[in-house]
Chain A
Amino acid sequence: MGSMNKFINNRPHKKIDYSNYYFILPAFLFYIIFVLYPLADTFYTSFTQWSGIGEKKWVGLENYYNNLNDVKIISSIKHSFILIIFYSFFPIIIGLAIAGIMVRVKVKGIAFYRAILFLPQILSMIVVGIAWRWIYAPKGPLNTGLDFLGLDNWSRAWLGSFDFALPFVGLIGTWVMFGFAMILFIAGVQKIPTELYDAAKVDGAGPFAEFFNVTLPALKGEIIVALVFTVTLALRNFDLIYITTGGGPGTSTMIPSMFIYKKAFQMNQVGSASSLGIMLTLLIFTLISLILITLREKK
């Protein structure tokens, strides 16, 4: 009974009932053993040289130093930033533009459209990657379409091209994300009180002024959500790269998570792979913090 003191007594100096902790214990055990411990262990391993067997040899910051001086790793981080444009920027711009158009429109059957637009979110990236591999294939629909339009000399093996592989993998990300952004922003727009729009109209605001003065500020919360969600996915992104290009051709679509996998499980450079993992984690934390700080402050 004493454990229920939150319900009955709110006296300031109540005794802590330790038996309440039994309720959170199993969950935290799983979390500590399979999330926090591996994180700490990766952090430690990142300062060592280790092939996966034997003793770990302490090397201090050497792995980090080597990563930052490795042209291939730096370019893989650049690729990730290019992918952010495709995974994050394009879908959010598309979603916002469409939400801006639909401010006043009540569309019948929106639940049906929403169900379809959301579809790419639920599928395994392996399945998505295989579908797009076919579309981009030398004799796939994209090239057939180009041939049909008389643009034969444009057709090529898109994912095998040093110049086109990265943006075309990026477009898959745009495809996965734009429906999600649309749904999020249209739902947000419908929560904006119509009086705000009426007031803007009285002030003589055109559609653009209306969008920038009313719609955009009101959607700030949804924009933060969309940014955090899509940026994180663009930086992780292992499955899609693995099944579409494997990082190639050459290293033209290599991203950090692919390097982590290759270094740790194919090249036996476990220490180096761990340091790259910690760098990726820090990069994601930094970007999320930047998004939250810059967008939350200007309220």
Chain B
Amino acid sequence: MKQANREKLIAHSIFIFGCILVLYPFFSILFLALSEPGTRVSGFTIPTGIYFDNFIKAWSGGNFSSGLYSSFVVVIGVVSITILCSVPAAYAFEKLDIFGTTPLFAILLLGLVLPYESLIISLYYLMRDFGLDGTYWSLILPQIGLSIPFSIFWLRSSFKTIPISLSEAAMLEGAGRIVILIKILLPQIKPAILTLTVLLFMWTWNEFLLALVMIQDADMRTAPLALSYFAGNKRYGDPAITAAAAICVALPVLIVYVFLQRRFISGMVTGVDK
């Protein structure tokens, strides 16, 4: 039994060491951000008091209220339209007859591994031709296209777990395709849709390159883009203010993560598995 206890001790030590490694950068910038302006913070001292001055300076200097607003608009657009389009597609692939399912799926598979760094140039000129560059649509529309492959894969595998007898029974009572989808299947895959929502929210919130290329107007910048301009802005070269800004941008995802962390982890781990 001693042996087992020693193994447990080693396991806990490894986990705790790993967690300290992960958390150190966060606490490092958190302490920096909460420090008294003008004092030298080394990264090892624990702050003597909590000062929000850096947050106030970051908030007013970096235009983050409009950054957060832009990000929310884009997230809501991308997540809602992606799910609205992916649910019927996944349903059709899994439960209805689609001639050519295999080749169509292979084409979607391409989108899962495609580096979108290589699409960004064309997307920019496409949006310019549409006259949409500089608008929220130039961020929403491409991200819907890029999110659709993963969403269909994810939803199709959850439709697969629903026994066919369920929809058969409803069909014998004369229910049509859409009624079956909405009344019978959707309630069954609600957890899968929630997980997908969380993942799409995170990916869209963190997206950077598209915003960097499409958005010129400072008031339209998304939160990560505003942060990058802010961090590169010499006038606010104080690392403590930059740290406060970074925390503001990370906070919405962190808050969702605290409540729904199981969905993030299971979604990412099983998601990349597929």
**A interface list, Cβ under 8 A from B:** 1, 3-8, 14, 16-17, 20-21, 23-24, 26-28, 30-31, 33-39, 41-42, 45, 52, 98, 101-102, 104-105, 107, 110-111, 113-128, 130-135, 137, 139-142, 144-145, 148, 175, 178-180, 182-184, 187, 221, 225, 228-229, 232, 235-236, 238-239, 242-243, 256-257, 260-261, 264-265, 270, 273-274, 277-278, 280-281, 284-285, 288
User: By the criterion CB–CB under 8 Å, are A45 and B88 in contact?
Assistant: no
Closest CB of chain B to A190's CB: distance in Å? 12
* Contact assessment for A30 and B144 in the assembled complex, using a CB-CB cutoff below 8 Å: yes
Query: Which residues on the B side are within 8 Å of A130 (C-beta)?
Result: 29, 227, 231, 242-243, 245-246
A135 touches B95 (CB 8 A): no
Taking beta carbons and an 8 Å cutoff, which residues of B are in contact with A? 4, 7-8, 10-12, 14-16, 18-19, 21-23, 25-26, 28-29, 32, 40, 42-44, 81, 84-86, 88-89, 91-93, 95-99, 104, 107-108, 111, 113-115, 117-126, 141-142, 144-146, 148-149, 152, 164, 167-168, 171, 176-177, 202, 205-206, 208-209, 212-213, 224, 227-228, 231, 239, 242-243, 245-246, 249-250, 253-254, 257, 261-262, 264-265, 268-269, 272-273
Q: Which residues of the other chain, B, contact A20 by a CB distance below 8 angstroms? A: 92, 96-98, 177
> Does A113 lie within 8 Å of B114, measured CB to CB?
no
B228 A126 Cβ-Cβ under 8 A: yes
Cβ contact within 8 Å between B92 and A225: no
Residue of B7, B19, B167 near A7 (CB, 8 A) is: B167
Check if A17 sits within 8 Å of B122, measured CB to CB: no
The 5 closest A-B pairs by CB, nearest first: A141-B43, A34-B145, A277-B118, A23-B92, A38-B122
Closest to A121 in B: B268
Collect the chain B residues with CB atoms within 8 Å of residue A144's CB. 42-44
Nearest B residue (CB) for A39: B119
Which of B32, B95, B121, B206 is close to A124, meaning CB atoms less than 8 Å apart?
B206
A-B pairs with beta carbons under 8 Å apart, 19 shown: A24-B89, A26-B84, A33-B126, A38-B126, A102-B14, A104-B7, A118-B268, A122-B257, A127-B227, A130-B245, A132-B25, A134-B29, A134-B243, A135-B28, A235-B115, A238-B208, A265-B124, A265-B213, A270-B125
> Which residues of chain B are within 8 angstroms of A113 by Cβ–Cβ distance?
15-16, 18-19
Is there an interface contact between B32 and A134, defined as CB atoms closer than 8 Å?
A: yes
Give the shortest distance, in Å, between A271 (CB) and chain B (any CB). Answer: 10
User: Are B142 and A34 within 8 A (Cβ)?
Assistant: yes
Question: Does the CB pair B28–A3 fall under 8 Å?
Answer: no
Give A187's nearest chain B residue, CB to CB: B269
Chain A contact residues: over half helix, strand or loop, or mixed? helix
- B residues near A117, Cβ cutoff 8 Å: 15, 18-19, 22
Chain A residues closer than 8 Å to B264, beta-carbon distance: 118, 121-122
The answer for the CA separation of A134 and B4 in the assembled complex, in Å, is 41
- How long is the Cα–Cα vector from A281 to B120 in the complex, in angstroms? 12
**Nearest B residue to A285, CB-CB:** B113
A124 touches B92 (CB 8 A): no
User: CB within 8 A of A135: which of B25, B92, B123, B126?
Assistant: B25
Residues of A within 8 A of B22 (CB): 116-117, 119-120, 175, 179
Q: Which residue of A lies closest to B12 (CB)?
A: A107
